């Protein structure tokens, strides 16, 4: 018999909150987390806005530590600290070789790469000996395990914008099968850098709308690309019986996981959405529930023309007439798109929505698109009891991932 998998801790770093209470307060109110970029000079850039986290890393790390950490690793550590504290893991005597860490990143230490490349241009001797271990995408998982002495499964997932959901899915299956009792899982990203913004902008993925109050507008007819965000979302996933024995607070459960490939294009989604549809159906099948019990979908909802159109059609294909009764929202309207960390903070948004019986809005919605005709909870949240909810994430490379949550 498979083990059930509970959520016993959550931690978040984002442009609308750097702890759970602040994050939820701002989600509920529909706060816009997009602002002018301050992390570098944007004078020569077409894109000048992003969803920056305002967390002050120097309040949590000394200078010596920060010299060894990329921003994405620092975010992951801070979010993990919150999640582990909420779970009360450290206060319980638990075998640390049964606690794992699976934390990924879409692009890893791109900020470190840029900084060190500028030093390389002056002389190879100036490149830091900490360059490689600061840059590699798996290193956040390593830092968390070293800090807490967790000796179980440990690695990083890299699957672009599907990273966090793949991390949750891997952790879910490992706990189900008994390979671990607890896994700290999620994603972290810090890609508001010169090279990253230039690259995404030149491939026409980013919005060119200069208005920070309307640029991230998922499902709106005038959408023209996503807005970059940054941060981390981490969950403590735990064998349900293990959690009950130590009297941990149960925040919810993961009950289903689906992952597929489009096998279509390196950046564009399959216009038919076959892979995304299969991932969602697999998650529902994995949970062994009927589709009618799902009330809410936290959509990938990137504010790009093709994603929002295709994702809408996929939802309609799966739920048919019931699709009109579903609430479908995009957290990215507030936070921007956190790439590999998107699924992390969106999982937390979904769990908070379920536990508080409230669905935050998709903000910046003003122009109806006939191709996007579902209930996106526009601009104002609603009270609604939710027992089952899906969270979608799709990434460059044709990666599709879907997690099905059950209320705690």
Q: Are residues 199 and 312 in the same domain?
A: no
In the sheet with 182-189, reading across from the earlier edge strand, the strands are: 154-155, 99-104, 182-189, 231-239, 5-13, 252-261, 399-407, 388-395, 296-298, 327-329
Q: What is the pLDDT of residue 186?
A: 98
Predicted local confidence at residue 92, as pLDDT? 79
Residues 385 and 283 in one domain: yes
Instruction: Kindly report, residue by residue over 172-225, the tens digit of the pLDDT.
Output: 999 999 999 999 999 999 999 999 999 999 999 999 999 999 999 999 999 999
CA-CA distance, 180 to 257, in Å (whole number)? Answer: 17
Token readout for 45 is 């850039």
Boundary residue ending a domain (252, 267, 299): 252
Any bridge partners for residue 35, and if so which? 50
Count how many domains the chain has: 2
Claim to verify: residue 145 and residue 285 sit in the same structural domain: no
CA neighbor of 106 nearest in space, from 40, 49, 189: 189
- 172, 174, 178, 181: CA torsion to nearest 10: -70
Same domain, 287 and 221: no
Judge if 13 and 136 occupy the same domain: yes
Cα torsion angle, 19, 361, 402, 337, sign:
negative
Which of the listed residues 188, 218, 252 is the one where a domain comes to its end? 252
pTM over 0.85? The answer is yes
Instruction: Give the per-residue pLDDT at 286.
Output: 98
Q: Which of 382, 385, 216, 375 is nearest to 293 (CA)?
A: 385
Residues annotated catalytic, as ranges: 161, 300, 337
Question: Do both 221 and 169 map to the same domain?
Answer: yes
Range of 308's domain? 257-407
What is the distance of C-alpha 361 from the center of its chain?
17
C-alpha–C-alpha distance, residues 156 and 141, integer Å? 6
Q: What's 337's domain CATH number?
A: 3.40.47.10
Q: Last residue of some domain: 252, 287, 303?
A: 252
182 and 269 co-located in one domain: no
**Both 81 and 221 in a single domain?**
yes
End-to-end CA distance of the chain: 21
User: Which tokens belong to 152?
Assistant: 């179980």
Q: Answer yes or no: do 268 and 214 share one domain.
A: no
Same-domain check for residues 228 and 353 = no
67 and 176 belong to one structural domain: yes
- Give the pLDDT confidence of 137-153 residue by residue, as tens digits: 999 999 999 999 999 99
Low-confidence ranges of the chain (pLDDT < 70): none
- Say yes or no: 215 and 337 in one domain: no
């Amino acid at each position: 018999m498979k083990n059930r998998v509970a959520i016993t801790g959550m931690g978040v770093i984002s442009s609308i909150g750097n702890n759970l209470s602040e994050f939820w307060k701002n989600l509920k109110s529909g706060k816009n987390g997009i602002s002018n970029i301050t992390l570098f000079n944007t004078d020569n850039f077409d894109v000048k806005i992003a969803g920056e986290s305002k967390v002050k890393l120097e309040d949590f790390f000394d200078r010596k530590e920060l010299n060894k950490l990329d921003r994405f690793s620092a975010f992951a550590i801070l979010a993990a600290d919150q999640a582990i504290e909420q779970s009360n893991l450290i206060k319980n005597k638990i075998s640390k070789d049964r606690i794992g860490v699976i934390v990924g990143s879409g692009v890893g230490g791109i900020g470190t790469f840029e900084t060190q490349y500028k030093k390389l241009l002056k002389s190879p001797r100036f490149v830091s000996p900490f360059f490689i271990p600061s840059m590699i995408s798996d290193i956040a998982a390593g830092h968390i395990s070293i800090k807490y002495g967790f000796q179980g499964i440990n690695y990083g997932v890299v699957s672009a914008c599907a990273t966090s959901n793949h991390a949750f899915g891997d952790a879910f299956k490992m706990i189900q099968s008994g390979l671990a009792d607890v896994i700290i899982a999620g994603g972290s990203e810090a890609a508001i850098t010169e090279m990253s913004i230039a690259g995404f902008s030149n491939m026409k993925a980013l919005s060119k709308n200069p208005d920070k109050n309307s640029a991230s507008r998922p499902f709106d007819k005038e959408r023209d690309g996503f807005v970059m965000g940054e941060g981390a979302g981490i969950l403590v996933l735990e064998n349900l019986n293990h959690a009950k024995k130590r009297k941990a607070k149960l925040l919810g459960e993961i009950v289903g996981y689906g992952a597929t490939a489009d096998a279509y294009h390196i950046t564009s989604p399959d216009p038919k959405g076959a892979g995304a549809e299969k991932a969602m159906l697999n998650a529902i099948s994995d949970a062994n529930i009927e589709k009618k019990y799902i009330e809410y979908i936290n959509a990938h909802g990137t504010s790009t023309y093709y994603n929002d159109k295709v994702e809408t059609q996929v939802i309609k294909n799966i739920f048919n007439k019931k699709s009109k009764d579903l609430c479908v929202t995009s957290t990215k309207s507030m936070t921007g798109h956190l790439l590999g960390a998107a699924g992390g903070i969106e999982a937390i948004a979904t769990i908070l929505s379920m536990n508080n019986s409230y669905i935050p809005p998709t903000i910046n919605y003003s122009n109806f698109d006939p191709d996007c005709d579902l209930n996106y909870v526009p601009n104002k949240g609603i009270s609604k009891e939710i027992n089952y909810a899906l969270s979608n994430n799709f990434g460059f490379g044709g990666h599709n991932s879907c997690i099905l949550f059950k209320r705690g």
